[in-house]
């Protein structure tokens, strides 16, 4: 896979949804929430007014309804603007 986001966009591989709670209760597929964290896979070059802060390999937190879900070679990814990312963890 060779994909390069444009401008200030970032390609993120979402983390797996939690399978069970901290107390050990197994969460069924219908009750799982979308993960709000993931790993940066590719980063655009930025714009003339905005230099990119995140880099490939960073683990990040992003908004629940941020970005667009895409599927490349059977793998799910999120593509979003860097401004939709809340924090690097």
In total, how many domains does the chain have? Answer: 1
Asked if the structure places residue 80 within a domain, the reply is yes
Residue 21 belongs to a domain:
no
The number of beta carbons lying within 10 Å of the beta carbon of residue 84 is 18
Is the pLDDT at 1 greater than 70? The verdict is no
In a domain, 46, yes or no: yes
Using one digit for the tens of pLDDT, what is the confidence trace for 6-62?
999 999 999 887 677 778 877 776 666 677 899 999 999 999 998 999 999 999 999
The reported pLDDT for the residue numbered 18 is: 67
Q: Is residue 27 part of a domain?
A: no
Q: What is the pLDDT of residue 23?
A: 80
The pLDDT of residue 64 is above 90: no
User: Which domain CATH number covers 59?
Assistant: 2.30.33.40
In 3D, which of 33, 34, 32, 41 has the Cα closest to residue 2? 41
- Please tell me the predicted confidence (pLDDT) of residue 27: 73
Range of the domain at 41: 1-15+34-89
């Amino acid at each position: 896979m060779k994909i390069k986001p444009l401008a200030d966009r970032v390609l993120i591989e979402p983390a797996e949804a939690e399978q069970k709670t901290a107390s050990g209760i197994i969460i069924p597929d219908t009750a799982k929430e979308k993960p709000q964290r993931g790993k940066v896979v590719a980063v655009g070059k930025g714009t003339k007014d905005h230099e990119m802060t995140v880099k490939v390999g960073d683990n990040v937190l992003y908004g629940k309804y941020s970005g667009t879900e895409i599927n490349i070679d059977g793998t799910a990814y999120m593509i979003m603007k860097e401004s939709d990312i809340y924090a690097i963890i």
